[in-house]
Each structure stands twice: as C-alpha cells, then as structure tokens.
Amino acid sequence: MTGNRAQKLAPDAGAGVEGKAGTRASLLRAAAEVIQEGGWGSASVGAIARRAGVAAGTLYRHFPSKADLFLEVFRTVSEREMVAMRSAQATASSIADRFDAVVGTYARRALHNRRLAWALVYEPLDAAVDQERLAYRRAYSEGMATLIRQGIETGTIPAQDADLAAAAVVGVIAETLVGPLSPVARPTAGEDEIVRAIVTFCRRVIGLPASA
C-alpha cells in the first residue's frame, strides 16, 4: 500500500531523462493553460498540478519554486511568439510587407489569446518576470530596428534613427493593445479593425504610406 501510494504521488521519481522532460513539458503546458484562463493569480501549484495530472510535489522536482515555473512559462510562450513573427516575416517579399507581417502577427495573436497576452505583457508579477519582459521587449525592438535599417538602405523607409523608431513602434503596439486586451474592458472594435489600425499607426511612425 505504502509503495503504491508513493508511486502515485511521485510518478516521475524514477523516470528517465525522456520521462522527466515530458513531465516538465506537461507542467509548462498546464501552467500556460491555467494562466490563459484566469491570469497569474489563478495559477496555484495545485491547479497547475491537477491540470498536468501529477501530484503537487512533482512540480518542485522540476522547478525550484512557482516563480521559476512562471519565468519558464513566460520564456517559452514569448519564444513561441517570436518564432511566429519570424515565420510571418519570412513569407513576405517587400520591406513594407515584412513590416506589416511582424506588426500584424503580434497584434492578431495577442487578440486571439487575450487573457494570456494580458498576463504576459501587463499583469503585475514577480520582479524576475518583469526583467524577462524587458529582455523580450528589447529583443523585439532589436529585430524591428534591423528591419527598419534594411528599409532605409533600400529607400523604402525615410532616413531616421532605427533604434528609436523601433522602440516607438513597440510602444505604439503595447499601448494600443491595453484596452482591447484588458480583462475588464469590452473592445469596441473587431479584431480585424484593431489590427488594421495598429498596422496603420506603426506605418506612420516610420514613414511608410498609411495604406497597407
């Protein structure tokens, strides 16, 4: 009885590397799902463990603390979003189309997962996650600055400080999405309209024609 109970409470205690990696991935996936439904505040250790189908103690064998789990969730989801934007940009030919693809993909994916996007970008949390948010925002700005420089070199975008312009674009996106993503606000426009408006605003920031 004791042995069976211990095995039930610690399903991966004797698992190999692949088994442990699978449990870790399940915990990350479960945490992201719980956060998407109710934000960071709803993501208790018990709720995450139940969603992953493991005992609560199992979580601490893979993450030193809940804060470490949250940090890893943020990194995993943020990298997924970066991959989506890079993929969208790769399918576009012109600089203007690539710019639209990056901005539009970011906005549209955020609007499709509003609660998760709100938690990742705006909801107050641990200082470590705030630092990671800044790092993610810098990485996004750096990629945008590279694209703007390419546009300047080809004459598609007027000459300007690419780093400042990229920071302004990222700021426009973040501030414009505050209302539509807020859990307590009701958007007054549809997703397509919001995305089009954000792309138009961002085009104006760097001097591209407003119409995409």
Domains detected in the chain: 2-63 (1.10.10), 71-206 (1.10.357.10)
Q: Which band of pLDDT confidence, cut at 50, 70 and 90, is reported for residue 70?
A: very high
Task: Please compute the mean of the pLDDT values over residues 62-90 and round it to a whole number.
Answer: 93
Nearest to 119 by CA among 54, 42, 189: 42
Measured at the CA of 189, the angle between CA 185 and CA 190, to 5 degrees, comes to 110
Residue 129 has pLDDT above 50, yes or no: yes
Which pLDDT score is estimated for 17?
46
Residue-wise pLDDT tens digits, 13-28: 444 545 677 899 999 9
- Cβ(163)–Cβ(141) below 8 Å: yes
What pLDDT was estimated at residue 189? 83
* Token representation of residue 100: 């639209």
Q: What is the rounded average pLDDT for all residues in the chain?
A: 88
pLDDT score, position 212: 53
Which pLDDT score is estimated for 126? 83
Confidence of residue 1 (pLDDT cuts 50, 70, 90): very low
Q: Which amino acid is at 167?
A: A
pLDDT of residue 2: 39
* DSSP tally for the chain: helices H, then strands E: 11, 0
Largest Cα–Cα distance of the chain, in whole Å?
75
Q: 206 and 151 in contact (C-beta within 8 Å)?
A: yes
